[in-house]
């Protein structure tokens, strides 16, 4: 129990003194996950919106597949991306394995289905309200898609947040393709796993605290935005 208390004390000290090693890990984590979220939104939002308004044979199957992909195990994604990026793999000549880029790719693959599937749901619900009006206005698919994405912007923020939450908290994919190399590919989750196994609870706890704080503050920010949105009847 003494050790535990000491670990907490040290953890707070690391956070409050802005320990350079700790900062480096946090910055890399955020860089990797935020970039992955940005790419996922670039791919997933139009994909989800298109799926929400298009009607074609096989659409229900595609929706089921997309929903199933939301539960992709990170280690499996890590393994697949590893196979693609390893020297023997089809993308081996890019030499991306064990780089932050590989981690961004893995997280993008992991959360794009989440963003697309949740976006599909949000946009489809909105479209059920707008469809007749849009048809009356003779709008093209593309015009409808961009109007729906804009009008669902506040709900889609939550979708982006869900993706970010998943990305920043996962360890399986980034540890396989990133390798948890100190000063290069070590992020919060991989560092926590490593430091805990080494018995260095202070650093692990400090990182855990930061992770929790990030999760809480992002959630609070989104909640405030949504409250503002509903006050203006935009949500």
Partner 1 sequence: MTTPAPDASKPRIGGEVRGLVYRAGGANRIDGIDLALPKSSLTVVLGPNGAGKSLLLRLMHGLLEPAAGEILWDGKRLDERMRVRQAMVFQRPVLLRRSVGANIRFVLRLRGKATLEAVDSLLAEVGLEQLADQPARQLSGGEQQRLALARALALKPAVLFMDEPTASLDPAATASIESIVKRAHERGAKVIFVTHDLGQARRLADDIVFLNRGRLVEHTPAERFFDQPDSRQARQYLSGKLILD
Cα-Cα-Cα-Cα dihedral of 30, 33, 35, 39, to 10°?
-160
Least distance from partner 1 to the Cβ atom of residue 229, Å:
8
Note whether 235 binds partner 1 by CB under 8 A: yes
Cα-Cα-Cα-Cα dihedral of 124, 127, 132, 134, to 10°?
-130
CA distance linking residue 35 with residue 228, whole number of Å: 26
Least distance from partner 1 to the Cβ atom of residue 128, Å:
11
Using CB under 8 A as the binding criterion, the count of chain residues that bind partner 1 stands at 17
Could you say which residues in the range 107-136 bind partner 1, by CB under 8 A?
A: 129-130, 132-133, 135-136
Cβ–Cβ under 8 Å, residues 120 and 66: yes
Cβ–Cβ under 8 Å, residues 77 and 86: no
Least distance from partner 1 to the Cβ atom of residue 56, Å:
18
Could you say which residues in the range 205-234 bind partner 1, by CB under 8 A?
A: 232-234
Cβ–Cβ under 8 Å, residues 54 and 184: no
Could you say which residues in the range 134-153 bind partner 1, by CB under 8 A?
A: 135-139, 143, 147, 150-151
Neighbours of 38 (CB within 10 A): 15
Note whether 182 binds partner 1 by CB under 8 A: no
Least distance from partner 1 to the Cβ atom of residue 141, Å:
13
CA distance linking residue 206 with residue 9, whole number of Å: 9
Nearer to partner 1, 32 or 149 (CB): 149
The binding site for partner 1 (CB under 8 A) comprises 129-130, 132-133, 135-139, 143, 147, 150-151, 232-235
């Amino acid at each position: 129990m003494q050790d535990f208390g000491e670990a907490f004390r040290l953890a707070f000290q690391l956070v409050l003194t802005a320990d350079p090693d700790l900062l480096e890990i946090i910055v890399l984590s955020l860089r990797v996950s935020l970039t992955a979220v940005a790419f996922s939104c670039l791919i997933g939002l139009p994909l989800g919106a298109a799926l929400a308004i298009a009607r074609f044979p096989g659409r229900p199957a595609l929706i089921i597949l997309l929903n199933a992909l939301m539960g992709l195990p990170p280690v499996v994604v890590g393994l697949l991306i590893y196979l693609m990026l390893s020297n023997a793999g089809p993308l081996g000549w890019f030499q991306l394995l064990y780089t932050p880029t590989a981690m961004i790719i893995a997280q993008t693959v992991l959360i794009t289905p989440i963003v697309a599937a949740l976006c599909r749901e949000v946009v489809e619900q909105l479209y059920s309200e707008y469809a007749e009006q849009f048809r009356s206005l003779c709008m093209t698919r593309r015009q409808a898609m961009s109007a729906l994405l804009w009008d669902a912007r506040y709900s889609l923020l939550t979708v982006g947040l869900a993706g970010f939450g998943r990305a920043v908290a996962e360890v399986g994919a980034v540890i396989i393709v990133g390798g948890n190399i100190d000063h290069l590919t070590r992020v919060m989750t991989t560092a926590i796993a490593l430091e805990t196994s080494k018995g260095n609870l202070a650093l692990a706890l400090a990182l855990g605290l930061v992770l929790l704080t990030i999760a809480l503050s992002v959630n609070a920010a989104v909640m405030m935005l949504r409250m503002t949105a509903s006050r203006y009847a935009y949500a």
